[in-house]
């Protein structure tokens, strides 16, 4: 799963800052990637289809210089020219960028919005305590609070003066960083900080001056202990490389010879990807369990084909079976973690951060394969029934009061916390919430478990499915559309909406499903395909893509085939579009970005154009034979 150059640039910066620069081969691979990922204007964006961002371009610029490129190299000059052309320039870099630059001695701490570590010592009953934040946000600001509180600083040597001169139009002593504390480049702004956040920031700056020094040390110690816990229980991978990189800087700033620094740097390599075409880059997440689950479900719709590849199916089944979390975290309550036993992670599980929908899709895949005689592994290789129970329990623990399902943890914070979002580049990122996709996957998996193992049915499980179905119905809009959150966007939401309700036993003729199908049919393009543009994610509206996309077409067909007959005209035209676009190797063109998080960060799931179209065609073939 591909994101943007932000993490790769931060990796190069961190390795240099802690005095352990990359080797020559890695350096060459990083430079190849930066050349590949930059836009036609010489800048780098928040994703590969976005325009330039001051935040990303500044970080890549610094990384290029730290990797040894001179200021006169073409790629460096183009980036510097683009930064200088932006209103406000680097002084208007968003708050995350201000923190990174301050850590490198390239921005004054007076211009950095306060993130005091004392926040983590506040009483837990307070409605704005960090434990209520969404876990990714919480762990990013945990490390940021430590670094801010310690006023950590990496010495870049002679490059410090050179970068100060290259990044800013005025001499360093003349720069008024405090005056630009709230400045955010228009290219980067997604959520403008509101009045409540501005008042809170002002109050924190005043409060920070009044706090006793011994209190700061206690707060730093508390944050550092939590950082070490996160590194150790995740096998030094961290929840993601975003907080993992900050954790490395925190450990280094505490003690350059700290015993946890070397394994933390090594743990970053878990997020590394490399090939000859695009070089070395670091992704925001690894999606192996997620992809394997969907691939198995696709094969489950074509058992005769899958039976010819039984060895591959068996290996995939074994991977998922063994990737389940079977060991609980130590001190999980004290560290504000929810129980993880029974869950599956987005990746191989090494970092031990399981997710509701990843668990649900893995469980569904195992049940689908185990329920087909042509595919099922021998009895001794199947997942134990007791572990199916723990999987269901993990999913049930993620159901919110409104009936919807969260991702990593049940919702802890109120919606108003979004008004305290300080990131500026991302939205809807302060709290867990209920998601259409997670809810649909969850109730689908629970319903499949109920059907496969009737002895496991219970009033609790039945109630969870019913409440989840009601949540999905409430999420549908008057025109029949359903908003997604993790994919683009209404097409993805419609796919999950229909899949979840049908798996839960809702009849195909149900009015809600009929409205969803009618909405999808209305969005079908003249050539028979479907295509949705990522820009609609930012504005919460449907935006048609100029071209039909294999992935969106597959999502639409998978949903329609649960509601319409396989001979229906929209289905037939969609199938024809997919068939004519298939490549000689069996896959489909990659198409446009297909995933999203926090409204503005678009993702490219590289295997979506492989298994989703294959799944849609397999479902069409199976329904056609049945008809």
**Six-digit token pair at 519?**
């909405």
Q: CA 23, 29, 30, 35: dihedral to nearest 10 degrees? A: 150
Q: How many helices (H) and strands (E) does the chain have?
A: 24, 4
- Name beta bridge partners: 279: 275
Distance of alpha carbon 474 from alpha carbon 482, whole angstroms: 10
For 92, list phi and psi in degrees, rounded to 5. Answer: -100, 20
For 236, list phi and psi in degrees, rounded to 5. Answer: 65, 20
Q: Which residues of 215-226 are buried (b: 16+ CB within 10 A; e: fewer)?
A: ebeebbebbbeb
Distance of alpha carbon 296 from alpha carbon 257, whole angstroms: 46
CB 390 within 8 A of CB 327: no
Distance of alpha carbon 115 from alpha carbon 207, whole angstroms: 12
Left, alpha or beta for 333 (phi > 0: left; psi -120 to 50: alpha)? alpha
Distance of alpha carbon 571 from alpha carbon 253, whole angstroms: 59
For 468, list phi and psi in degrees, rounded to 5. Answer: -65, -40
The catalytic residue among 291, 338, 357, 604 is: 357
Known catalytic residue at 357: yes
CB 552 within 8 A of CB 495: no
| In 38-73, alpha helices (H) | 54-66
Residue 290: count of CB within 10 angstroms of its CB? 22
Distance of alpha carbon 107 from alpha carbon 287, whole angstroms: 36
| Count of all residues that appear for the chain in the document | 627
Q: Which residues of 53-75 are buried (b: 16+ CB within 10 A; e: fewer)?
A: bbbbbbbbbbbbbbbebeeeeeb
The angle, 0 to 180 degrees and rounded to 10, between the axes of the packed helices 436-452 and 490-503 is: 20
DSSP 373-419: TTTPPPGGGSPPHHHHHHHHHHHHHTB-TTS-B-SSS---S-GGGGG
Which residues are part of the catalytic machinery?
357
């Amino acid at each position: 799963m591909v994101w943007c150059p932000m993490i790769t640039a931060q990796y190069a910066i961190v390795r240099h800052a802690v005095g352990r620069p990359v080797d020559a081969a890695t350096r060459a691979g990083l430079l190849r990637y930066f050349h590949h990922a930059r836009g036609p204007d010489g800048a780098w964006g928040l994703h590969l289809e976005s325009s330039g961002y001051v935040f990303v371009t500044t970080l890549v610029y610094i990384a290029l210089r730290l990797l040894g490129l001179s200021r006169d190299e073409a790629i460096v000059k183009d980036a510097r020219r683009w930064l200088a052309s932006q209103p406000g320039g680097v002084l208007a870099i968003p708050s995350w960028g201000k923190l990174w630059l301050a850590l490198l001695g390239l921005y004054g701490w007076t211009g950095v919005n306060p993130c005091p570590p004392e926040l983590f010592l506040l009483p837990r009953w307070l409605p704005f305590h960090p434990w209520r934040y969404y876990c990714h946000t919480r762990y990013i600001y945990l490390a940021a609070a430590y670094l801010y509180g310690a006023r950590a600083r990496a010495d870049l040597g002679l490059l410090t003066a050179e970068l100060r001169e290259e990044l800013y139009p005025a001499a360093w002593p003349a720069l008024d960083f405090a005056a630009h504390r709230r400045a955010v480049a228009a290219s980067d702004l997604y959520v403008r900080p509101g009045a409540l956040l501005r008042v809170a920031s002002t109050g924190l700056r005043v409060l920070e001056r009044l706090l006793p020094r011994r209190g700061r040390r206690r707060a730093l110690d508390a944050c550092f202990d939590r950082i070490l816990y996160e590194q150790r229980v995740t096998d030094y991978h961290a929840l993601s490389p975003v907080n993992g990189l900050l954790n490395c800087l925190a450990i280094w700033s505490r003690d350059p010879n700290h015993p946890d620094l070397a394994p933390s740097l090594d743990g970053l390599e878990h997020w590394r990807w490399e090939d000859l075409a695009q070089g070395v880059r670091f992704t925001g997440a690894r999606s192996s369990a997620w992809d394997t689950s969907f691939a198995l479900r696709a094969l489950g719709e074509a058992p005769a084909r899958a039976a010819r590849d039984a060895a591959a199916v068996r290996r995939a089944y074994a991977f998922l079976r063994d990737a389940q979390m079977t060991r609980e975290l130590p001190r999980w309550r004290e560290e504000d973690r929810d129980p993880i036993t029974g869950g599956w992670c987005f990746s191989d599980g090494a970092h031990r951060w399981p997710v509701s929908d990843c668990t649900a899709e893995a469980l569904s895949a195992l049940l689908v394969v185990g329920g087909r005689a042509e595919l099922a592994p021998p009895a001794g290789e199947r997942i134990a029934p007791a572990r199916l129970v723990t999987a269901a329990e993990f999913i049930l623990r993620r159901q919110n009061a409104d009936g919807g399902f969260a991702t990593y943890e049940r919702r802890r914070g109120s919606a108003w916390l979004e008004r305290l979002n300080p990131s500026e580049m991302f939205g809807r990122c302060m709290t867990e919430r209920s998601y259409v996709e997670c809810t649909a996957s969850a109730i689908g998996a629970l319903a499949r478990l109920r059907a496969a193992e009737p002895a496991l049915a219970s009033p609790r499980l039945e109630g969870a499915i019913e409440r989840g179905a009601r949540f999905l119905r409430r999420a549908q809009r008057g025109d029949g559309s359903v908003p997604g959150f993790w994919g683009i966007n209404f097409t993805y939401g419609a796919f999950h909406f229909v899949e979840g309700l049908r798996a839960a036993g809702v009849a195909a003729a149900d009015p809600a499903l009929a409205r969803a199908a009618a909405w999808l049919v209305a969005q079908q393009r003249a050539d028979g395909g479907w295509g949705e543009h990522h820009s609609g994610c930012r504005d919460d509206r449907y935006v048609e893509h100029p071209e039909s996309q294999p992935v969106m077409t597959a999502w639409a067909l998978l949903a329609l085939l649960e509601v319409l007959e396989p001979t229906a005209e929209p289905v037939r035209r969609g199938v024809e579009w997919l068939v004519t676009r298939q490549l000689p190797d069996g896959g489909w063109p990659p198409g446009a970005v297909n995933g999203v998080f926090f409204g503005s960060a678009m993702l490219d799931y590289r295997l979506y154009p492989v298994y989703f179209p294959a799944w849609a065609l397999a479902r069409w073939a199976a329904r056609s034979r049945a008809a």
